[in-house]
Amino acid sequence: SLGSLAGNACADGLDQIRIGTAHRALFDIAADGDRIYAVGAIGTVLSSSDGGATWVTEPSDSDLALLGVAASATNQLAVGQTGLILRRNGEGHWERVATDTDQRLMAVDVADDGVAVAVGSFGAMLRSADGGRSWTSVSNDWESMVDDGFEPHLYGVQALPGGVFCVVGEYGLVLRSEDHGQSWHKTHGGEASLFAVPI
């Protein structure tokens, strides 16, 4: 075993210096001008105020993995495991916001007017009209959108001008909302999963 091997090595006059590789994976990044945020494992939040030249760790209210982050001039949001949503307050601390889902949230985006949409596993979709302070679930008619009515994993969301949002996910799914994320219609379907909406 590893333990007995290490013990034998020490007994043979070798000093154990380090076992394993210390690291924290980062899963997403978002920017508003020169201000950049990156999120990852164990509730990690990093921020840069100089376009990525230097970074600092910001305190978060969780040790769960954060999988998505969004930033606008006035609102910064992060999402992750078990329905977790964090919102950055004025002091630079990320505070937990109540949600009514325990599904893993994969992505979030926020428009300049403060409307935000978060998406995740098994069709989870949440909407906020107040910059992420409060959230409500969005129901979709998956039977009309996906073969056999499966609730697809949703992987990416993007806010666009004019109250438009786009979401992508499993089965080549592309959803579009033209009313600030209140209602959605399918614009594409296929086989391969889609993971992001580039702009």
Per-residue pLDDT, averaged over 23-35, amounts to: 91
What pLDDT is stored for residue 4 in this prediction? 44
Lowest-confidence region among 8-17, 77-86, 165-174, 182-191? 8-17
pLDDT per position as a tens digit, 53-84: 999 999 998 999 999 999 999 999 999 999 99
Question: What is the per-residue pLDDT across 164-177, written as a single tens digit (0 to 9) for each?
Answer: 999 999 989 999 99
pLDDT digits (tens, 9 = 90+) for 100-129: 999 999 999 999 999 999 999 999 999 999
| pLDDT (0 to 100) of residue 14 | 75
The pTM of this model reads 0.86
Above 90 in pLDDT, residue 9?
Answer: no
- Secondary structure of residue 108 in the 3-state scheme: strand
DSSP string covering 16-53: P---S-----EEEEEEETTEEEEEEGGG-EEEESSTTS
pLDDT band at 24, cuts 50/70/90? confident
In contact, 30 and 69? CB cutoff 8 Å: yes
More confident residue, 13 or 154: 154
pLDDT confidence tier of residue 12, bands split at 50, 70 and 90: low
pLDDT band at 6 (very low <50, low <70, confident <90, very high): very low
pLDDT tens-digit series, residues 128-154 = 999 999 999 999 999 888 887 789 999
The per-residue b/e assignment along 18-55, b for 16 or more CB within 10 angstroms, e otherwise, is: eeeeeeeeebbbbebeeebbbbbbebbbbbbeeeeeee
Q: What order of strands is seen across the sheet that includes strand 105-110?
A: 105-110, 116-120, 125-128, 136-137
